[in-house]
A and B are shown apart, each in its own frame.
Chain A
Amino acid sequence: MEQKITKMNSWFEEQIAACGRRNAELQADDRTDEAVFEKVKANIYDAMRTWLTVAVRIGNGNGKAVKDFFIARVEQIPASWEAAYEKAKEHNDVTRMQTEQVKLDVVREVRAEFDQIWEGAE
Protein backbone atom coordinates (compact mmCIF):
# COMPACT_ATOMS: atom_id res chain seq x y z
CA MET A 1 0.00 0.00 0.00
CA GLU A 2 2.88 2.34 0.81
CA GLN A 3 4.08 2.04 -2.78
CA LYS A 4 0.65 2.94 -4.17
CA ILE A 5 0.35 5.98 -1.93
CA THR A 6 3.84 7.16 -2.86
CA LYS A 7 3.03 6.68 -6.56
CA MET A 8 -0.25 8.56 -6.21
CA ASN A 9 1.39 11.43 -4.30
CA SER A 10 4.16 11.69 -6.90
CA TRP A 11 1.53 11.84 -9.63
CA PHE A 12 -0.30 14.62 -7.76
CA GLU A 13 2.96 16.55 -7.44
CA GLU A 14 3.67 16.16 -11.15
CA GLN A 15 0.21 17.40 -12.08
CA ILE A 16 0.43 20.39 -9.73
CA ALA A 17 3.87 21.27 -11.09
CA ALA A 18 2.59 20.92 -14.67
CA CYS A 19 -0.32 23.25 -13.90
CA GLY A 20 2.12 25.75 -12.43
CA ARG A 21 4.25 25.60 -15.58
CA ARG A 22 1.25 26.01 -17.88
CA ASN A 23 -0.03 28.85 -15.70
CA ALA A 24 3.29 30.69 -16.07
CA GLU A 25 3.41 30.03 -19.83
CA LEU A 26 -0.16 31.24 -20.35
CA GLN A 27 0.45 34.34 -18.21
CA ALA A 28 3.56 35.13 -20.24
CA ASP A 29 1.49 34.64 -23.41
CA ASP A 30 -1.17 37.10 -22.15
CA ARG A 31 -3.82 34.40 -21.85
CA THR A 32 -4.75 35.29 -18.30
CA ASP A 33 -8.17 33.64 -18.08
CA GLU A 34 -6.83 30.32 -19.32
CA ALA A 35 -3.96 30.74 -16.84
CA VAL A 36 -6.54 31.06 -14.05
CA PHE A 37 -8.07 27.72 -15.09
CA GLU A 38 -4.66 26.08 -14.59
CA LYS A 39 -4.64 27.50 -11.06
CA VAL A 40 -8.12 26.08 -10.47
CA LYS A 41 -6.91 22.67 -11.69
CA ALA A 42 -3.87 22.81 -9.39
CA ASN A 43 -6.13 23.61 -6.43
CA ILE A 44 -8.30 20.58 -7.16
CA TYR A 45 -5.27 18.27 -7.46
CA ASP A 46 -4.06 19.69 -4.16
CA ALA A 47 -7.45 19.14 -2.49
CA MET A 48 -7.49 15.55 -3.77
CA ARG A 49 -3.98 15.00 -2.42
CA THR A 50 -5.21 16.21 0.98
CA TRP A 51 -8.15 13.79 0.83
CA LEU A 52 -5.72 10.97 0.12
CA THR A 53 -3.61 11.97 3.15
CA VAL A 54 -6.75 11.99 5.31
CA ALA A 55 -7.81 8.62 3.86
CA VAL A 56 -4.40 7.13 4.76
CA ARG A 57 -4.67 8.46 8.31
CA ILE A 58 -8.21 7.21 8.78
CA GLY A 59 -7.47 3.86 7.07
CA ASN A 60 -4.65 3.27 9.55
CA GLY A 61 -2.85 0.64 7.48
CA ASN A 62 -5.99 -0.95 6.04
CA GLY A 63 -5.74 -0.64 2.24
CA LYS A 64 -9.43 -1.26 1.62
CA ALA A 65 -10.44 1.42 4.15
CA VAL A 66 -8.08 3.92 2.48
CA LYS A 67 -9.51 3.14 -0.94
CA ASP A 68 -13.14 3.26 0.23
CA PHE A 69 -12.67 6.57 2.03
CA PHE A 70 -10.84 8.20 -0.90
CA ILE A 71 -13.31 6.96 -3.54
CA ALA A 72 -16.24 8.12 -1.38
CA ARG A 73 -14.74 11.63 -1.26
CA VAL A 74 -13.95 11.65 -4.98
CA GLU A 75 -17.56 10.75 -5.74
CA GLN A 76 -19.30 12.76 -3.03
CA ILE A 77 -17.67 16.19 -3.05
CA PRO A 78 -17.85 16.86 -6.82
CA ALA A 79 -21.61 16.20 -6.74
CA SER A 80 -22.13 19.86 -5.87
CA TRP A 81 -19.91 20.87 -8.82
CA GLU A 82 -21.97 18.64 -11.10
CA ALA A 83 -25.14 20.32 -9.80
CA ALA A 84 -23.57 23.77 -10.26
CA TYR A 85 -22.59 22.83 -13.84
CA GLU A 86 -26.12 21.65 -14.66
CA LYS A 87 -27.63 24.79 -13.15
CA ALA A 88 -25.22 26.99 -15.11
CA LYS A 89 -26.01 25.04 -18.30
CA GLU A 90 -29.71 25.53 -17.71
CA HIS A 91 -29.10 29.30 -17.55
CA ASN A 92 -26.49 29.34 -20.34
CA ASP A 93 -23.92 30.71 -17.88
CA VAL A 94 -20.89 29.76 -19.99
CA THR A 95 -18.32 31.26 -17.61
CA ARG A 96 -19.52 29.21 -14.64
CA MET A 97 -19.92 26.12 -16.84
CA GLN A 98 -16.27 26.33 -17.87
CA THR A 99 -15.04 26.62 -14.27
CA GLU A 100 -17.14 23.66 -13.11
CA GLN A 101 -16.13 21.65 -16.19
CA VAL A 102 -12.43 22.19 -15.43
CA LYS A 103 -12.95 20.95 -11.85
CA LEU A 104 -14.97 17.92 -12.97
CA ASP A 105 -12.39 16.99 -15.62
CA VAL A 106 -9.67 16.94 -12.95
CA VAL A 107 -11.79 14.72 -10.70
CA ARG A 108 -12.36 12.24 -13.55
CA GLU A 109 -8.65 12.21 -14.30
CA VAL A 110 -7.76 11.64 -10.63
CA ARG A 111 -10.27 8.82 -10.37
CA ALA A 112 -8.86 7.09 -13.46
CA GLU A 113 -5.28 7.45 -12.21
CA PHE A 114 -6.20 6.23 -8.74
CA ASP A 115 -7.95 3.15 -10.18
CA GLN A 116 -4.95 2.41 -12.36
CA ILE A 117 -2.37 2.80 -9.60
CA TRP A 118 -4.42 1.08 -6.93
CA GLU A 119 -5.56 -1.89 -8.99
CA GLY A 120 -2.45 -2.06 -11.17
CA ALA A 121 -0.07 -2.44 -8.24
CA GLU A 122 -2.05 -5.26 -6.66
Chain B
Amino acid sequence: MTETEAILLFKCLADKSRLQILKSLAIEDMYVERLAERLGITAPTVSFHLKKLSDAGAVTSYKSQYYMMYSLNKEIFETSILEIIREKSDEADLQAQRDAGYRQKVIDAFFEYGKLKAIPTQRKKERIVLEEIARAFEYDRIYTEREVNIIIADFYDDFCTIRRDMIAEGLLGREAGGGGYWRVKE
Protein backbone atom coordinates (compact mmCIF):
# COMPACT_ATOMS: atom_id res chain seq x y z
CA MET B 1 0.00 0.00 0.00
CA THR B 2 1.49 3.38 -0.98
CA GLU B 3 1.46 6.35 1.38
CA THR B 4 -1.20 8.06 -0.72
CA GLU B 5 -3.41 4.97 -0.56
CA ALA B 6 -2.86 4.68 3.19
CA ILE B 7 -3.77 8.34 3.75
CA LEU B 8 -6.90 7.94 1.62
CA LEU B 9 -7.91 4.87 3.61
CA PHE B 10 -7.25 6.44 7.02
CA LYS B 11 -9.11 9.63 6.06
CA CYS B 12 -12.00 7.50 4.87
CA LEU B 13 -12.11 5.49 8.10
CA ALA B 14 -12.14 8.63 10.27
CA ASP B 15 -15.93 8.86 10.06
CA LYS B 16 -18.35 7.14 12.40
CA SER B 17 -21.00 6.41 9.73
CA ARG B 18 -18.43 4.74 7.51
CA LEU B 19 -17.09 2.68 10.42
CA GLN B 20 -20.66 1.59 11.18
CA ILE B 21 -21.09 0.54 7.56
CA LEU B 22 -17.87 -1.49 7.72
CA LYS B 23 -18.99 -3.10 10.98
CA SER B 24 -22.22 -4.16 9.32
CA LEU B 25 -20.39 -5.50 6.27
CA ALA B 26 -18.07 -7.45 8.56
CA ILE B 27 -21.14 -9.47 9.59
CA GLU B 28 -22.45 -10.09 6.08
CA ASP B 29 -22.66 -8.58 2.60
CA MET B 30 -25.47 -6.04 2.32
CA TYR B 31 -27.22 -3.77 -0.15
CA VAL B 32 -27.75 -0.02 0.25
CA GLU B 33 -31.34 -0.06 1.56
CA ARG B 34 -30.55 -2.76 4.13
CA LEU B 35 -27.59 -0.74 5.43
CA ALA B 36 -29.72 2.42 5.53
CA GLU B 37 -32.40 0.64 7.57
CA ARG B 38 -29.81 -0.85 9.94
CA LEU B 39 -27.94 2.38 10.55
CA GLY B 40 -30.86 4.82 10.51
CA ILE B 41 -29.45 7.02 7.72
CA THR B 42 -30.90 7.68 4.28
CA ALA B 43 -30.09 5.43 1.31
CA PRO B 44 -28.45 8.28 -0.68
CA THR B 45 -26.20 9.00 2.34
CA VAL B 46 -25.25 5.32 2.53
CA SER B 47 -24.46 5.35 -1.23
CA PHE B 48 -22.32 8.43 -0.69
CA HIS B 49 -20.31 6.70 2.06
CA LEU B 50 -20.01 3.47 0.09
CA LYS B 51 -18.53 5.38 -2.85
CA LYS B 52 -15.86 6.83 -0.54
CA LEU B 53 -15.16 3.41 0.97
CA SER B 54 -14.99 1.88 -2.47
CA ASP B 55 -12.56 4.58 -3.71
CA ALA B 56 -10.34 3.86 -0.70
CA GLY B 57 -10.42 0.16 -1.53
CA ALA B 58 -12.23 -0.74 1.71
CA VAL B 59 -15.30 -2.29 0.09
CA THR B 60 -16.10 -4.06 -3.15
CA SER B 61 -19.44 -4.61 -4.86
CA TYR B 62 -21.10 -7.26 -6.97
CA LYS B 63 -24.51 -7.73 -8.51
CA SER B 64 -26.86 -10.30 -7.02
CA GLN B 65 -30.25 -10.60 -8.72
CA TYR B 66 -31.78 -7.11 -8.46
CA TYR B 67 -29.38 -5.83 -5.83
CA MET B 68 -25.91 -4.36 -5.82
CA MET B 69 -24.30 -6.07 -2.85
CA TYR B 70 -21.39 -4.58 -0.93
CA SER B 71 -18.75 -6.55 0.89
CA LEU B 72 -15.75 -5.81 3.05
CA ASN B 73 -12.41 -5.97 1.25
CA LYS B 74 -10.86 -8.19 3.92
CA GLU B 75 -7.46 -8.20 2.22
CA ILE B 76 -6.95 -4.50 2.87
CA PHE B 77 -7.80 -4.87 6.55
CA GLU B 78 -5.38 -7.73 6.97
CA THR B 79 -2.52 -5.30 6.27
CA SER B 80 -1.05 -4.28 9.62
CA ILE B 81 -0.46 -0.63 10.45
CA LEU B 82 3.18 -1.54 11.14
CA GLU B 83 3.52 -2.79 7.55
CA ILE B 84 2.14 0.52 6.29
CA ILE B 85 4.55 2.52 8.47
CA ARG B 86 7.50 0.41 7.36
CA GLU B 87 6.70 0.99 3.69
CA LYS B 88 9.54 2.93 2.09
CA SER B 89 8.76 6.31 0.54
CA ASP B 90 11.86 7.67 -1.15
CA GLU B 91 12.01 11.16 -2.64
CA ALA B 92 11.66 9.96 -6.23
CA ASP B 93 8.45 8.16 -5.35
CA LEU B 94 7.18 11.22 -3.50
CA GLN B 95 8.01 13.47 -6.44
CA ALA B 96 6.27 11.08 -8.81
CA GLN B 97 3.27 11.04 -6.50
CA ARG B 98 3.23 14.86 -6.33
CA ASP B 99 3.43 15.06 -10.13
CA ALA B 100 0.65 12.53 -10.51
CA GLY B 101 -1.40 14.46 -7.96
CA TYR B 102 -0.90 17.75 -9.81
CA ARG B 103 -1.72 16.10 -13.10
CA GLN B 104 -4.92 14.62 -11.69
CA LYS B 105 -5.89 18.00 -10.23
CA VAL B 106 -5.52 19.65 -13.65
CA ILE B 107 -7.50 16.86 -15.31
CA ASP B 108 -10.27 17.11 -12.69
CA ALA B 109 -10.43 20.89 -13.11
CA PHE B 110 -10.58 20.91 -16.91
CA PHE B 111 -12.54 17.77 -17.68
CA GLU B 112 -16.07 16.97 -16.62
CA TYR B 113 -17.31 13.46 -17.33
CA GLY B 114 -14.64 13.05 -20.01
CA LYS B 115 -15.40 16.34 -21.80
CA LEU B 116 -12.92 19.21 -21.89
CA LYS B 117 -14.56 22.31 -20.38
CA ALA B 118 -12.02 24.85 -21.72
CA ILE B 119 -8.49 24.95 -23.12
CA PRO B 120 -6.12 25.97 -20.29
CA THR B 121 -4.26 29.22 -20.85
CA GLN B 122 -1.16 28.03 -18.96
CA ARG B 123 1.07 26.01 -21.25
CA LYS B 124 1.97 23.43 -18.57
CA LYS B 125 -1.70 22.74 -17.93
CA GLU B 126 -2.56 22.66 -21.63
CA ARG B 127 0.20 20.10 -22.14
CA ILE B 128 -1.40 17.84 -19.50
CA VAL B 129 -4.82 18.24 -21.12
CA LEU B 130 -3.42 17.44 -24.57
CA GLU B 131 -1.55 14.40 -23.23
CA GLU B 132 -4.82 13.17 -21.76
CA ILE B 133 -6.56 13.52 -25.14
CA ALA B 134 -3.60 11.86 -26.88
CA ARG B 135 -4.32 8.72 -24.86
CA ALA B 136 -7.37 8.19 -27.10
CA PHE B 137 -5.00 7.55 -30.03
CA GLU B 138 -3.28 4.22 -30.59
CA TYR B 139 0.42 3.94 -31.28
CA ASP B 140 1.62 2.53 -34.63
CA ARG B 141 -1.51 3.53 -36.48
CA ILE B 142 -1.99 6.12 -39.21
CA TYR B 143 -5.13 8.25 -38.86
CA THR B 144 -6.79 10.40 -41.52
CA GLU B 145 -7.50 14.02 -40.60
CA ARG B 146 -11.20 13.17 -40.40
CA GLU B 147 -10.52 10.34 -37.94
CA VAL B 148 -8.36 12.66 -35.84
CA ASN B 149 -11.10 15.30 -35.80
CA ILE B 150 -13.77 12.77 -34.77
CA ILE B 151 -11.64 11.48 -31.89
CA ILE B 152 -10.87 14.99 -30.64
CA ALA B 153 -14.49 16.11 -31.07
CA ASP B 154 -15.44 13.56 -28.40
CA PHE B 155 -13.50 15.75 -25.98
CA TYR B 156 -13.95 19.28 -27.34
CA ASP B 157 -15.91 20.97 -30.11
CA ASP B 158 -13.01 23.10 -31.36
CA PHE B 159 -11.07 20.10 -32.68
CA CYS B 160 -9.00 22.21 -35.11
CA THR B 161 -7.26 24.11 -32.29
CA ILE B 162 -6.65 20.95 -30.28
CA ARG B 163 -5.32 19.09 -33.35
CA ARG B 164 -2.92 21.93 -34.20
CA ASP B 165 -1.75 22.21 -30.58
CA MET B 166 -1.17 18.46 -30.34
CA ILE B 167 1.09 18.65 -33.39
CA ALA B 168 2.88 21.72 -32.02
CA GLU B 169 3.45 19.89 -28.70
CA GLY B 170 4.85 16.87 -30.53
CA LEU B 171 2.10 14.55 -29.34
CA LEU B 172 0.81 13.87 -32.85
CA GLY B 173 2.97 13.55 -35.96
CA ARG B 174 1.81 14.58 -39.42
CA GLU B 175 3.03 13.59 -42.87
CA ALA B 176 4.16 16.52 -45.00
CA GLY B 177 1.65 17.64 -47.63
CA GLY B 178 -1.48 16.90 -45.62
CA GLY B 179 -1.10 13.14 -45.24
CA GLY B 180 -1.83 10.93 -42.27
CA TYR B 181 -1.42 11.56 -38.54
CA TRP B 182 0.05 9.30 -35.87
CA ARG B 183 0.62 9.30 -32.13
CA VAL B 184 4.23 10.12 -31.33
CA LYS B 185 5.88 7.69 -28.90
CA GLU B 186 7.10 9.25 -25.64
B45 and A94 contact, CB distance less than 8 A: no
Most central of B17, B44, B45, B48 by chain A CB within 10 Å: B48
Given contacts A29-B16, A30-B15, A31-B17, contact A94 B113 (CB under 8 A): no
B17 and A94 contact, CB distance less than 8 A: no
B15 and A31 contact, CB distance less than 8 A: yes
CB of B125 within 8 A of chain A? no
How many chain-A residues does the 8 Å CB contact rule pick out?
Answer: 16
Partner of B48, one of A87, A90, A91, A95: A95
CB of B14 within 8 A of chain A? yes
Which chain A residues in 92-106 approach chain B with CB under 8 Å? Answer: 93-95, 97-98, 101
B45 and A98 contact, CB distance less than 8 A: yes
Given contacts A87-B113, A91-B113, A101-B44, contact A33 B14 (CB under 8 A): no
A94 to B42, CA, bound (A): 13
A93 to B47, CA, bound (A): 10
A98 and B44 contact, CB distance less than 8 A: yes
A34 and B45 contact, CB distance less than 8 A: yes
CB of B51 within 8 A of chain A? yes
Identify whether the interface residues of B are mostly helix, strand, loop, or mixed.
helix
A95 to B47, CA, bound (A): 8
B48 and A31 contact, CB distance less than 8 A: no
CB of B49 within 8 A of chain A? yes
Closest to A87 in B: B113
CB of A32 within 8 A of chain B? yes
The bracket for how many chain B residues form the interface is 10 to 19
Residues on B with beta carbons closer than 8 Å to the beta carbon of A37: 45
Residues on B with beta carbons closer than 8 Å to the beta carbon of A97: 44, 47-48
A34 and B17 contact, CB distance less than 8 A: yes
B97-136 toward A: CB 8 Å interface, digit per residue (1/0)? Answer: 0000000000000000100000000000000000000000
- In the assembled complex, the CB of B63 is this many whole angstroms from the nearest CB of chain A, namely 14
Partner of A95, one of B14, B15, B51: B51
Residues on A with beta carbons closer than 8 Å to the beta carbon of B16: 29-31
A23-40 toward B: CB 8 Å interface, digit per residue (1/0)? Answer: 000000111111001000
Partner of B51, one of A30, A31, A34, A94: A94
B49 and A33 contact, CB distance less than 8 A: yes
Residues on B with beta carbons closer than 8 Å to the beta carbon of A31: 15-17
A31 to B40, CA, bound (A): 13
- In the assembled complex, the CB of B111 is this many whole angstroms from the nearest CB of chain A, namely 12
Can you list 13 A-B pairs, Cβ within 8 angstroms, ordered by A? A31-B17, A33-B15, A33-B17, A34-B41, A34-B45, A37-B45, A87-B113, A94-B47, A97-B47, A97-B48, A98-B47, A98-B48, A101-B44
Interface residues of B (CB under 8 A from A): 14-17, 41, 44-45, 47-52, 113
Please name the 5 residue pairs, one residue from A and one from B, whose CB atoms are nearest each other, closest first: A94-B51, A98-B48, A30-B16, A91-B113, A94-B47
